[in-house]
Amino acid sequence: MVKKRLSKEKQGLTVLTPENDFRFKCRQDLDCFTRCCRNITIVLTPYDILRMKNALNILSVEFLANYTVSMIGDAGLPVVLLKMNDNDEKNCPFVTRQGCRIYPDRPWTCRIYPLQPESSKITEKAGKQYYSVMDVPFCLGLDADKSLTLAKWIEEQGVPVYQKMEAPFKTITGNEFLGRNKITNRNIQEMFYMACYDLDRFKRFVLESTFLERFEVEPEVVEKIKEDDVELYYFAMRWLEYGLLGQHVLKVKPDVMGGKK
Ligand code: SF4
Ligand code: SF4
Angle between helix axes 219-227 and 199-208 (nearest 10 degrees) is 140
Q: Using CA atoms, how far apart are residues 117 and 44, in angstroms rounded to an integer? A: 15
Q: Using CA atoms, how far apart are residues 50 and 229, in angstroms rounded to an integer? A: 7
Distance of CA 111 from the midpoint of ligand 2 (Å)? 9
Residue 236: is it exposed, middle or buried by C-beta count within 10 angstroms (0-12/13-18/19+)?
Answer: buried
Question: pLDDT tens digits for 46-96?
Answer: 999 999 999 999 999 999 999 999 999 988 999 999 999 999 999 999 999
Choice between 118 and 37, residue whose per-residue pLDDT is larger: 37
Mutate to test the pocket of ligand 2, among 32, 43, 110 (most ligand atoms within 8 A of CB): 110
Angle between helix axes 46-55 and 159-173 (nearest 10 degrees) is 130
Where helices occur in the chain by DSSP H, the ranges are: 8-11, 46-55, 60-67, 108-112, 121-126, 150-156, 159-173, 176-180, 186-196, 199-208, 211-214, 219-227, 229-243, 254-257
**Does residue 101 come out as left (phi exceeding 0), alpha (psi in the -120 to 50 range) or beta?**
alpha
Beta bridge partners of 22: 148
pLDDT at 172: 95
Residue boundaries of the structural domains of the chain: 13-169, 182-257
Q: Measured from the CB, is residue 107 less than 6 Å from ligand 1? A: no
Q: Using CA atoms, how far apart are residues 165 and 233, in angstroms rounded to an integer? A: 9
70 contacts 79 by C-beta, under 8 angstroms: yes
44 contacts 107 by C-beta, under 8 angstroms: yes
Nearest CA to ligand 1 atom 7: 139
For residue 258, name the pLDDT band (cuts at 50, 70, 90).
low
Q: Measured from the CB, is residue 84 less than 6 Å from ligand 2? A: no
Is the model's pTM score more than 0.75? yes
Angle between helix axes 199-208 and 60-67 (nearest 10 degrees) is 150
Question: pLDDT tens digits for 108-158?
Answer: 999 999 998 876 655 555 566 778 899 899 999 999 998 999 999 999 999
User: For residues 115-138, b (16+ Cβ closer than 10 Å) or e, as one string?
Assistant: beeeeeeeeeeeeebbbbbeeeee
